[in-house]
Structure 1
Amino acid sequence: MKALILVGGFGTRLRPLTLSVPKPLVDFANKPMILHQIEALKDVGVTEVVLAINYQPEVKASHSQISILQLRLCLLKKASFYFLQVMLNFLKEFETKLGIKITCSQETEPLGTAGPLALARDQLIDGSGDPFFVLNSDVISEYPFEELIQFHKSHGGEGTIMVTKVDEPSKYGVVVMEEETGKVERFVEKPKMFVGNKINAGIYLLNPSVLDRIQLRPTSIEKEVFPQIAADQRLFAMVLPGFWMDIGQPRDYITGLRLYLTSLRKKSPSKLSTGSHIVGNVLVHESAVIGEGCLLGPDVAIGPGCVVECGVRLSRCTVMRGVRIKKHACISNSIIGWHSTVGQWARVENMTILGEDVHVCDEIYSNGGVVLPHKEIKSSILKPEIVM
């Protein structure tokens, strides 16, 4: 079997983290986001993963003609090429470790959410007739791929989409389906009246015949392709068991971490830390060093090579690789980027996001600061703001 992961663009919602690495390589629960998906796909027999990379504009102009906007686009194009190489180099390491082939398919023009499937047609079809997976790279869940395969085989349709239940369906596009069979009847965009509470979860299993419905042009799989298959009564939906979250922005990232660690508690409790200094679910890499008198949790992930000194308080936060948290610092509802430092008695909270190699001095308070990489914070950030 094969799979296509829609990687997306620059990950602007997760800046400043995505100023250092491509969004799919941002750590989530101590491993790159996309690695969670690739490992789960490998477990159900997927042998090749195709990463669908978004189009980035090309600017053709002489130096004297380049405007501020054009210059920015030029820089974006260079950044796109650099990040693509970084991602490929990183993922090549996992091809051998996981025994799975990883390739890329990059757009030369914007193709929406369906066009990339047509572009990667030759990579997705291998003559076996097997269905292929399509995933949005921002989605974190328990990835019940085995159940999805069995359900897809049982209904005999062309495609299966996973749906998840939400409390406020009026904010989303709702999937209206037969409860007993799962057959999709129609899609309703942000309904004003209640028609259902299930939304597209961004995980699909599609027969190769679906590719015949997609032309190599900008196309929306949600608004054009799926309604067409549903009209032919060939589209089915499976309710996603367990948790689901789009972690493409910081607040949802933190929520997703809580849901992931809760799931880990049920499935593999031995992977979580225990002790009198632990409250709730805490994931600590084996190479991290934790000092005496700390209180960690709930919902904390501490990455490899981190040093957490004595008396530190951490809750609802991610501390990425190589970070040092000095004595008696307090961090909550925040993300601490790679190789950063938080000083003694510092307080970091309210969705503060520190980019790579940020150094917060002793006794500093950050209330929702978003700090770009390679900065030193010498004065407190009293209200949410971007520090450039």
Structure 2
Amino acid sequence: MLKAIILVGGPMKGTRFRPLSLELPKPLFPVAGFPIIYHHIEACSQVPGLREILVIGFYQPNEALNRFISQSQQEFQIQIRYLQEYTALGTAGGIYHFRDQILTGSPEMFFVMNADVCGDFPLCEMVQFHKDKCPDASGIILGTEATRQQSQNYGCIVENKDTHEILHYVEKPETFVSPLINCGIYLFTPEIFSTLEVTFKKNLEDNYNYCDQNCHIPGFDFQTPSKEVIRLEQDIFIPLANTKQLFVFPTTRFWSQIKSAGAAVYANRHYLTIYQRTHPERLAKNGEGQPRIIGDVFIHPTASVHPTAVLGPNVTIGRNVTVGEGVRVRETIVLEGATLQAHCCILHSIVGWHSTVGVWTRVEGTPNDPNPNKPFAKLEIPCMFSSDGRLNPSITVIGSNVQVPSEVIILNSIVLPHKDLNGCYKNQIIL
């Protein structure tokens, strides 16, 4: 029996995803027509013997989250539960905190998946790799190759090329270590809890010594640092490296992180490409009385799209969206309830929930994408902001309930929710 854990973080995480995460928890943001973690759950449901999925985070349970879990349970016929942390416990603190729930039923192994990654997850292959190549290992990390420059933004892995044992692990090194990076997808055996327990007890001891040395300071907070915060990357992987307990499963399949809105558009493109193989029925097709479709396009059945519209490539049209006459949409996500009025043009953008784009208006972003048509190209997803806080040229994001007037241009801009625009904007954040 296997289980899966999806780490979703909480409301103080994903700030780079604003304004989209202001309306909805980031893990529920729809990419290629479905919430980000829906793709995780779907991949888990295809693993033989996987009986339960635990979603761990410190979001307050809300209607959207509860409804999503209920619907996913019904669709995939698999038990899914949400376990709420009392505070942010780190990437491994929640796993240790809820260890009794995870170990209930004596699972042979369990997956741990970060919610802010997307990809063509080779979960079954990871299980087979463990059984065939390293049956005594405590953990396996999914890894992929990045460029030298990209690798320094991730956990870097030095492996034994023959056995795939991890010899050295460094989290976000200052200098180049290895092009093989951590994908944030793991397979563990219950033995990993022995290492977690050692780390937890060390944290307890360090916390006691810290408090003992500083408790005389007026206003001292006895909860700092938190004794339950455990980081998988720094606290677990680094000491496990070169002990024959930690291995890497390299993949060449599509993988990316979703840190910013620009990354969501990139993930949307590749999930649509994956649909060609896994769910061709989800992709729109050309036909009489239908809009013209170029490349991969997802249109929700409840959406209304005028037959003169041209959509694609790499477009997602959400629930109850209205697309008017002569509209052109490319490399874009249009969210639930939005209206695209006649002859508007939307390129490299995200149009928020229940927003309206006026007649003959152009909404456009300028993504840093050298190979837009190359499947699964290795690409550095640009951040929404540069290191000095300035807006980077990227996709345009229209927040929820925004009214964009007719015959204007919105270029490389971010529009916060509930705004009525009255002109053209370029490279601006509209508060």
Report the TM range for the smaller structure's normalisation: 0.7 to 0.9
CA distance in 2, matches of 1:188, 1:237: 14
Alignment partner, residue 309 of structure 2: 294
CA distance in 1, matches of 2:302, 2:166: 48
Q: CA deviation at 1:318?
A: 0.4
Q: CA deviation at 1:382?
A: 2.4
Alignment partner, residue 94 of structure 1: 72
Q: Note the aligned Cα RMSD (angstroms).
A: 2.0
Alignment partner, residue 342 of structure 1: 357
Matched, 1:242 2:243: no
Match of 1:19 among 6, 18, 22: 22
Alignment partner, residue 278 of structure 1: 293
| Contact 1:144 1:241 (C-alpha < 8 Å) held by counterparts | no
Matched, 1:163 2:114: no
| Contact 2:31 2:267 (C-alpha < 8 Å) held by counterparts | no
Question: Any idea what the Cα deviations from partners look like across 1:118-177, whole Å, max 9, x if unmatched?
Answer: 011011102434111100001111111111111122211111110111123234331111
Matched, 1:35 2:38: yes
Q: Which amino acid aligns with 1:144?
A: P
| Contact 2:268 2:314 (C-alpha < 8 Å) held by counterparts | yes
CA distance in 1, matches of 2:154, 2:236: 18
CA distance in 2, matches of 1:347, 1:99: 44
Q: CA deviation at 1:187?
A: 1.2
Counterparts of 1:95-244 in structure 2, within 5 Å, are 95-154=73-132, 155-156=134-135, 157-167=137-147, 168=149, 169-190=151-172, 195-215=177-197, 216=200, 217-244=228-255
Question: Any idea what the Cα deviations from partners look like across 1:159-215, whole Å, max 9, x if unmatched?
Answer: 111011112323433111122221111113455665431100010010011012114
SS in 2 for 1:328: coil
Alignment partner, residue 418 of structure 2: 374
CA distance in 2, matches of 1:182, 1:290: 50
Question: Any idea what the Cα deviations from partners look like across 1:79-126, whole Å, max 9, x if unmatched?
Answer: x53x64541243223323322222222223432111111011011102
CA distance in 2, matches of 1:203, 1:107: 20
Q: CA deviation at 1:247?
A: 1.4
Aligned residues: 361
Structure 1 residues 192 and 226, CA, compared in 2 at 3 Å: closer, same or farther? closer
SS in 1 for 2:425: coil
| Contact 2:340 2:357 (C-alpha < 8 Å) held by counterparts | yes
Q: CA deviation at 1:373?
A: 2.2
| Contact 1:105 1:119 (C-alpha < 8 Å) held by counterparts | no
| Contact 1:294 1:311 (C-alpha < 8 Å) held by counterparts | yes
Alignment partner, residue 258 of structure 1: 269
| TM-score when normalising by structure 2 | 0.79
Q: CA deviation at 1:268?
A: 3.8
Q: More displaced, 183-192 or 243-252?
A: 183-192
CA distance in 1, matches of 2:71, 2:107: 29
Q: 5+ unaligned residues in a row in structure 1: which ranges? A: 55-79
Structure 1 residues 190 and 22, CA, compared in 2 at 3 Å: closer, same or farther? closer
Structure 1 residues 245 and 4, CA, compared in 2 at 3 Å: closer, same or farther? same
Question: Any idea what the Cα deviations from partners look like across 1:286-323, whole Å, max 9, x if unmatched?
Answer: 33222133221121111122221111111111011222
| TM-score when normalising by structure 1 | 0.87
CA distance in 2, matches of 1:126, 1:198: 34
CA distance in 2, matches of 1:165, 1:303: 33
CA distance in 1, matches of 2:84, 2:90: 12
Q: 5+ unaligned residues in a row in structure 2: which ranges? A: 201-227, 366-394
SS in 1 for 2:426: coil
Structure 1 residues 293 and 127, CA, compared in 2 at 3 Å: closer, same or farther? closer
- Identity rate of aligned residues, in percent? 37
